[in-house]
Amino acid sequence: MAKLEYSLDQIDLQILRIMQDNARTNNADIARELGMAPSAILERVKKLEQKDVILQYNARINPAALDQKMLSFIFIKTQDIIGVQKVGLLLAEIPDVLEVHDIAGEDGYLIKVRTNDSAGLVDLMRNTLSKVEGIISTRTTIVLETVKEDNKLVIPTKE
């Protein structure tokens, strides 16, 4: 994972705000919007990438277009010793598992899973999750409809 703090000034924050909204925005466009030279922006963006402030540029794809209609959250209770994420790492390798969080309390992990339909979910639990060593039990929450899922961070105006 990413290391430490990196001091961001007001301009960096503005760049992040633009890039978070549209990762394909030109250097030139950013420069125009901020009233700076394109080269200066380029330099800053490269540094933000290099310092792991910008982790990646992703295209967010419509799950419906890929026929992935089903979204679920599964709480997973494990035998993992605290601080050792054996099960967590195994869960992270499963493609349909989009997120894996180590959570407080006895549950162990909370994972976010996308499948084609309910049959796909059953399939995942029967054929994949059941083969992961160290899982004691699971509790599944089905999502009926997603109201918001942009995962955009709040970028402060003043730091």
Q: Which is nearer to DNA, 39 or 137 (CB)?
A: 39
Q: Which is nearer to DNA, 29 or 99 (CB)?
A: 29
Give the integer Cα–Cα distance in Å for 133 and 79.
9
43 binds, among a copy of itself, DNA, none (CB under 5 to 8 A by kind): DNA
Nearest to 138 by CA among 74, 91, 94: 74
Q: How many residues does the chain have?
A: 159
The binding track of 1-20 with respect to DNA, each residue x by CB under 7 A or -, is ----------x---------
Q: How far is the CB of 2 from a copy of itself (least distance, A)?
A: 5
36 binds, among a copy of itself, DNA, none (CB under 5 to 8 A by kind): DNA
Angle, nearest 10°, between helix axes 10-21 and 38-50?
Answer: 80
Q: How far is the CB of 33 from a copy of itself (least distance, A)?
A: 15
Give the integer Cα–Cα distance in Å for 102 and 42.
36
Give the integer Cα–Cα distance in Å for 78 and 88.
9
Binding site for DNA (CB under 7 A): 11, 26-29, 35-40, 42-44, 47
